[in-house]
């Protein structure tokens, strides 16, 4: 994760949206295919792969500002939920919001992601928690595909327990497994199935039933694991060959050992810890030193991580989880692509891959996490097309 393959004074040759060659600038410029090429001057700047944000909840009806104020005043997660806040608040607004309005809001978020350097994003359902609401979210995600980012959809029907099923959760799991999930799979509306296994959400047994059924139907698996407590969800994800287990703020040494010996990615979301004002971040240093494959994601959502800025996530990873800048860049690009199962087409600048890249107003990649909370992106390119370019600041006229 510390080897970024840096090429000083490097160049890329791009044709029809695909990278043809990468190498020292003097070699690329002398290729016959480069003779009539349009040149984009990146002198003094860093060019790197676009970010792959492998865990987001980008479709929602409204911000959770009441939750935010209650948390500032000292309310716990359970107290906020008891007052009607938390995920159930997002469920109510999602169900009441027309699909067109959800789509407009989500398009705005996707545009801002592109401005901040993200070129591929995974996005989950999970605020509907009934048939109409979940389908509405998945259709919105489908409408966002390649406009302009690649959006990888995940079905998160097991996000929270619907209030109408709070006394018979097993019936809700059975309904999803026998009715909703098979239809979603048949129509190709989601690549992954995800479950939130934690205190106040789904038990280990309920999560197992849901994930085993999803795997049998052909979904790839993800797991919200060990965010607020140690539930055993990490080991369940490893056992069922999940592509990633996400959060991991409360993993133990045995979880880390097993992750390091598995093909399951450890996706860390420090933005949630920061926004909730918690002190326990995922043990990134231990995970990496043990040999686990670590990815970083924003976890963007209205309740616990309302930020789509992957650059800020890198700053938190370095300052709070003791990742090196190179490890953070790897975790936010190629490892994020593995966590979203799209490393064949995203996460690195290689011949044959789409030209998904960003140009930074920085001369050294280590400045990326160093200047925290700042947008360094000068240009974002998706499949060889410039989809965002930084504009100049206008001069103020004389009074």
Residue 74 lies in a domain: yes
Q: How far apart are CA 177 and CA 229, in angstroms?
A: 26
Q: Which tens digits make up the pLDDT trace of 31-61?
A: 999 999 999 999 999 999 999 999 999 999 9
Specify the pLDDT at position 397.
Answer: 82
Dihedrals φ, ψ of 330, to 5°? -60, -45
Closest CA to 95 of 59, 70, 68, 66: 59
In the numeric block, the tokens 């016959």 are attached to 32
Residue 38 lies in a domain: no
Q: How far apart are CA 152 and CA 399, in angstroms?
A: 51
Buried/exposed code over 324-351 (b: 16+ C-beta within 10 A; e: otherwise): bbebbbbbbbbbbbbbbbbbeebbbbee
Specify the pLDDT at position 332.
Answer: 98
Specify the pLDDT at position 237.
Answer: 98
Where does the pLDDT of residue 359 fall: very low under 50, low under 70, confident under 90, or very high at 90 and above?
very high
Specify the pLDDT at position 39.
Answer: 95
261: Cα within 13 Å, side-chain hemisphere: 8
Query: Is 90 exceeded by the pLDDT of residue 399?
Result: no
Specify the pLDDT at position 246.
Answer: 98
Token reading at 74: 């000292």
Domain range for 69 is 51-339
Q: Would you say 24 and 11 are in contact if contact means Cβ atoms under 8 Å apart?
A: yes
pLDDT, mean over the chain: 96
Residue 388 lies in a domain: no
Q: How far apart are CA 48 and CA 262, in angstroms?
A: 28
Helix (H, G, I), strand (E, B) or coil at 70: helix
Residue 168 lies in a domain: yes
Residue 201 lies in a domain: yes
In the numeric block, the tokens 């947008």 are attached to 375
* Region 263-268 average pLDDT: 98
* Region 218-235 average pLDDT: 97
Residue 397 lies in a domain: no
Q: Would you say 102 and 61 are in contact if contact means Cβ atoms under 8 Å apart?
A: yes
* Region 262-269 average pLDDT: 98
Residue 394 lies in a domain: no
Residue 385 lies in a domain: no
Q: Which tens digits make up the pLDDT trace of 86-136?
A: 999 999 999 999 999 999 999 999 999 999 999 999 999 999 999 999 999
Report the number of distinct structural domains present in the chain: 1
Please give the C-alpha separations between residue 108 and each of 33, 104, 105, in angstroms, as whole numbers: 38, 6, 5
Residues in CB range of 270: below 8 A, 6 or more apart: 281, 282, 296, 313, 316, 317, 320, 321
Q: Which tens digits make up the pLDDT trace of 140-184?
A: 999 999 999 999 999 999 999 999 999 999 999 999 999 999 999
Specify the pLDDT at position 395.
Answer: 82
Q: Would you say 295 and 336 are in contact if contact means Cβ atoms under 8 Å apart?
A: yes
**Residue 204: which CATH number?**
3.20.20.140
- Identify how many contiguous H helices and E strands the chain contains and give both numbers: 17, 14
Where does the pLDDT of residue 396 fall: very low under 50, low under 70, confident under 90, or very high at 90 and above?
confident
């Amino acid at each position: 994760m510390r080897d970024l393959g840096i090429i000083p004074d490097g160049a890329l040759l791009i044709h029809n949206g695909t990278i043809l060659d990468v190498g020292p600038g003097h070699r690329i410029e002398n290729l016959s295919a480069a003779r009539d090429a349009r040149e984009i001057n990146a002198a003094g700047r860093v060019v790197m792969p676009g970010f792959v944000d492998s865990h987001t909840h980008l479709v929602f009806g409204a911000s959770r500002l009441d939750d935010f104020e209650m948390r500032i005043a000292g309310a716990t997660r359970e107290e906020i939920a008891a007052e009607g806040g938390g995920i159930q608040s997002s469920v109510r607004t999602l169900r009441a919001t027309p699909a067109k309005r959800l789509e407009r809001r989500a398009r705005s978020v996707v545009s801002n992601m592109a401005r901040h350097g993200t070129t591929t994003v995974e996005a989950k359902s999970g605020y509907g928690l009934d048939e109409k609401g979940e389908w509405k979210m998945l259709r919105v995600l489908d409408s966002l595909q390649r406009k302009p980012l690649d959006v990888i959809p995940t079905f998160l029907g097991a996000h929270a327990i619907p209030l109408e099923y709070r006394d018979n959760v097993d019936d809700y799991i059975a309904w999803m497994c026998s009715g909703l999930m098979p239809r979603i799979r048949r129509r190709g509306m989601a690549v992954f199935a995800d479950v939130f296994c934690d205190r106040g959400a789904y038990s280990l047994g309920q999560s197992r039933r849901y994930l085993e059924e999803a795997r049998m139907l052909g979904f790839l698996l993800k797991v919200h694991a060990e965010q607020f407590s140690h539930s055993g969800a990490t080991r369940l994800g490893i056992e069922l060959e999940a592509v990633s287990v996400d959060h991991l703020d409360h993993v133990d040494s045995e979880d880390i050992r097993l992750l390091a010996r598995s093909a399951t990615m450890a996706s860390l979301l420090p933005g949630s810890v920061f926004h909730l004002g918690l002190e326990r971040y995922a043990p990134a240093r231990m995970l990496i030193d043990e040999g686990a494959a670590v990815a970083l994601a924003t976890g963007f959502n209205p309740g616990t991580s309302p930020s789509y800025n992957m650059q800020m996530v890198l700053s938190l990873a370095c300052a709070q989880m003791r990742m090196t800048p190179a490890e953070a860049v790897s975790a936010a690009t190629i490892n994020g692509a593995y966590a979203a199962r799209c490393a064949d087409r995203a996460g690195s600048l290689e011949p044959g891959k789409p030209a998904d890249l960003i140009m930074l107003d920085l001369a050294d990649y280590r400045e990326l996490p160093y200047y925290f909370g700042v947008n360094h992106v000068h240009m974002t390119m998706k499949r060889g097309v410039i989809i965002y370019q930084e504009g100049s600041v206008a001069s103020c006229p004389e009074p």
